[in-house]
Amino acid sequence: MTTSDLRLSARDLACERGGRLVFESLEFDVAAGEALVLTGPNGSGKSSLLRQIAGLLEIGRGQIELTGGDPERALGEQAHYLGHLDALKPSMSVLETIRFWALYLGGSAAAAQAALDDMALGDLADLPVAYLSAGQRRRLALARLAAVPRPLWLLDEPTVALDQASVGRLRAFMAAHLAGGGIIVAATHLDLGLGTAKSLRLGAEEMA
Amino acid sequence: MSRAFLALLLRDLRLAARLGGGGGMAVFFFLVVIAIVPLGVGPDRPLLASLAPGMLWVALLLAALLTLDRLFQADYEDGSLDLLSTGPLPLELVAVAKALAHWIVTGLPLVVSAPLLGVLLNLPSAAALPLTLAMLIGTPALSFLGSVGAALTVGIRRGGLLASLLVLPFYIPVLIFGVGAAAAASGGFEGEAGRQAFLLLGAVTLASFAVGPLAAAAALRANLR
Amino acid sequence: MAGMSSLSAAQRFHAYANPARFMALSSRLVAPLGMLSALVIAAGLWFALVASPPDYQQGETVRIMYVHVPSAWLAMFGYSVMAVASAVALIFRHPLADVAAKSAAPIGAAFTFLALVTGSLWGRPMWGTWWEWGDARLVSMLILLFLYLGYMALWATIEEPVRAARAAAVLALVGSINLPVIRYSVDWWNTLHQPASVFRMDGPTIASSMLLPLGLMALGFTVLFVTLLLVRMRAEIMRRRVRNLRLARAASGAGA
Amino acid sequence: MTDFLNMGGYAAFVWPAYGLTAAVIAGLVWQSIADYRAQTALAEKLEQLSGGRVRRAASSERDGEVQ
């Protein structure tokens, strides 16, 4: 799905939120098939970094670059951003939700149905989202990643509200994405068992 | 690109229809405001007739403002707004889709119900058509300019009230030309002032198509980024 | 659970009401009541349109009274059904009362709308305008329509039925207490502005020949109201059943 | 027959009044029945989908055993 010379790099990156310097002079390089795990205390800027990569947050100083991707599309359009909020509407059914996001983000309706089955949500398809549990809502949010193929995944605490079985399913899902030459940048406390993952500690150097 | 635009528009229309009957709330507000005017002003028919176009326009404006604050706030609160901006659609077109959905859900029902409510205010039947036409031309401006207020106050507590206060001054030209078009035109279209007012109203609406989305997108970027 | 009351509380609440008995009873009543209302209304129409004389003063327009007055009665009857059911719901916690109140509202609102429009049509030949602020009853009927629309809007916006029921019950009760006050204020407002038109809505004292069609139509409308109330209550009970089934389904789904 | 339809010159008011009453009542009857049928069908479909597992649970709590 992606060319092998895909590379996400950041040079001298700084982030300043509401007058507070969150982090500065950050550098990292992630090649195709690799994962970058962000660790560090809360408030150390993990979420801010992910939002900066996704283009949802202003980049004060430094720059982020995705080489080898699709030149016409912005970086944010080639990435899936999974934040703390699940972006789900209670009155819409599971199928309507995934079909909307697949259509909107450029995937196909067929892929949407397949994504539901991957996330074991197939038999809840016409249930309104209001009836779903937190875990099921999370899996519906993850199904969006399966429905629309995008090389870069930006995951903010993806395992929150997931039970053991779902975490196992998530690990396999992420491993498959990496095997397909994709890149993952994830902020998490849980060991995602990604073995070869590089790690980037935020916030620690400033404290010491 | 247009597929994403349509998908977003249809989703918003479906959501509006499911939650609180879409434009029903705005039309209900419009009906109540018009019904209490005579109770305040008195049942004197000629007085009501002279008040009718002005009151109908003011009530319509307030009704349009009513449903503005949820335009972006709903998507901001559940995280959809973040995802919408990672889609192929630039924020400007997201703002257009939202304003258009607001006009279809709220603007059109208000325009359709205006002549019926005119009966309560003893609106002369000759004035009903020009008034409705003027409202049809003017209401898109309410939605497109309104989307700027909604974008400016996204994420702010009690943003809805602030959005109305920010946007009401922008509505003044729509109100003045709208009432002018309705009142003058009721004496037949050949009235010079009537035609002028209609053209100016159309100009305001066209301008709002350009200014609205650009300003709304800039406001969203300023607020969220 | 996303915003839902805990599953067991909602189900126990409704289980206690044992809708099964009501569903069995109402399923036997709906068809006969429907037939009865059709017959009575047909008879009423016959007398209203054909077999009764025109009024010496109003001429044929008096026939509109045979639909206007029953609609107005049913509009008020509907609201009193809602108020009583809401009181029972709040005091005795009987959820079937909620279902009855919620089901009565749209029917009452429809009759209120009919009363308004037929009243306007009846008044038009006399007053020369479609709406007469001078007639206190017509104005109060309009305000009653607002109460109905507000009540239905409240139900439409609160998703969780138990909470919505309690809020709607309070609104209906407050509304019923306010109705006489509203009616009095509109009457007082009327005397303040001496209405131009001398014509009073009810016109001449009702001649005996008019009592039969009026009575038949009113009876027919009332039976129709009860029939529709039962049908809508059954639909509402099924709607809550669907909701519980969906909750159970999500709970039993993989990896809840 | 024609003067019956003419309603003493007030046909324009009497017939719309009766016509509208018939229309609103017919609409109300139709909507009530359609809503009932839709909800019943939905309930049956959900019961089949859950293979009766839910039916047993639901019927036991319906008889108040779940207190």
Beta strands in chain A (DSSP E): 7-17, 20-31, 35-39, 61-67, 79-82, 152-156, 183-187, 198-201
Q: Which residues of C touch B120 (CB under 8 A)?
A: 131
pLDDT for position C17: 55
Least confident of A117-126, B48-57, D22-31: A117-126
Q: Does residue D41 belong to the interface with chain C, where contact is any CB pair within 8 Å?
A: no
Q: Judging by DSSP bridges, how do beta strands A79-82 and A152-156 pair with one another?
A: parallel
Residues B81, B75 contacting (CB under 8 angstroms):
yes
pLDDT for position B22: 67
Residues A93, A126 contacting (CB under 8 angstroms):
yes
Percentage of residues of chain D with pLDDT beyond 90 = 42
Measured distance CA(C64)–CA(B192) in Å, rounded: 45
Query: Residue for token digits 């609609």?
Result: C71
Å between D8 CA and nearest CA of chain C: 6
Chain B positions touching chain C (beta carbons under 8 Å): 19-21, 24-25, 28, 31-32, 35, 38-39, 42-45, 119-120, 122
Predicted confidence band of residue D65 (pLDDT cuts 50, 70, 90): very low
pLDDT for position A188: 82
pLDDT tens readout for residues C237-253 = 999 999 989 888 888 76
Mean pLDDT by 10 residues, chain B (225 residues): 91 86 86 93 87 93 88 92 91 95 94 92 87 94 94 85 89 91 66 82 94 93 83
Cβ contacts below 8 Å, chain C against chain D, sum to 118
Residues C214, C70 contacting (CB under 8 angstroms):
yes
Q: Which two tokens stand for residue C79?
A: 């609201």
The DSSP H or E segment spanning C85 is: helix C65-92
pLDDT for position B187: 58
Instruction: Please determine, for residue A95, whether its predicted confidence score (pLDDT) is greater than 90.
Output: yes
- In chain A, where are the structural domains located? 7-86+149-207
Instruction: Closest CB to C61: pick one of D10, D39, D64.
Output: D10
B/D touch flag: 3 or more CB pairs below 8 Å: no
> Is C238–D43 a contact, with Cβ atoms under 8 angstroms apart?
yes
Predicted confidence band of residue D3 (pLDDT cuts 50, 70, 90): confident
pLDDT for position C108: 97
pLDDT for position C6: 46
Angle formed by the axes of helices A94-105 and A109-118, nearest 10°: 130
pLDDT tens readout for residues A34-61 = 888 888 888 788 888 999 999 888 887 8
Task: Name the residue with higher pLDDT: B182 or C112.
Answer: C112
How many residues would you count in chain A? 208
Terminal Cα-to-Cα distance of chain A (whole angstroms): 42
D55-60 CB contacts, 8 Å cutoff, 24+ apart: D57/C248, D58/C11, D58/C241, D58/C244, D58/C245, D58/C248
Q: Model ipTM?
A: 0.79
Task: Name the residue with higher pLDDT: C130 or A113.
Answer: A113
Measured distance CA(A19)–CA(A12) in Å, rounded: 19
Selection from A142, A91, A115, A116 nearest residue C253 by Cα: A116
Q: Give contacts of D 47-66 with C, CB under 8 A.
A: 47, 49-50, 53-54, 57-58, 61-64, 66
Q: Does residue C93 belong to the interface with chain D, where contact is any CB pair within 8 Å?
A: no
Predicted confidence band of residue C16 (pLDDT cuts 50, 70, 90): very low
Selection from D16, D23, B125, D20 nearest residue C61 by Cα: D16
Q: Is A106 helix (H, G, I), strand (E, B) or coil?
A: coil
Average pLDDT over residues C40-49: 89
How many residues would you count in chain D? 67
Instruction: Please determine, for residue C78, whether its predicted confidence score (pLDDT) is greater than 60.
Output: yes
Instruction: Please determine, for residue D59, whether its predicted confidence score (pLDDT) is greater than 60.
Output: no
pLDDT for position D56: 44
pLDDT for position B215: 93
- Classify domain A7-86+149-207 by CATH number: 3.40.50.300
pLDDT for position C196: 46
Instruction: Please determine, for residue C10, whether its predicted confidence score (pLDDT) is greater than 70.
Output: no
Residues A57, A51 contacting (CB under 8 angstroms):
yes
Å between B169 CA and nearest CA of chain C: 30
Å between C185 CA and nearest CA of chain B: 10
Å between B31 CA and nearest CA of chain A: 27
pLDDT for position B98: 95
Selection from B210, B111, B98, B85 nearest residue B150 by Cα: B98
| Subunits in contact with chain B (3 or more CB pairs closer than 8 Å) | A, C
Q: Which residues of A touch B7 (CB under 8 A)?
A: 100, 103-104
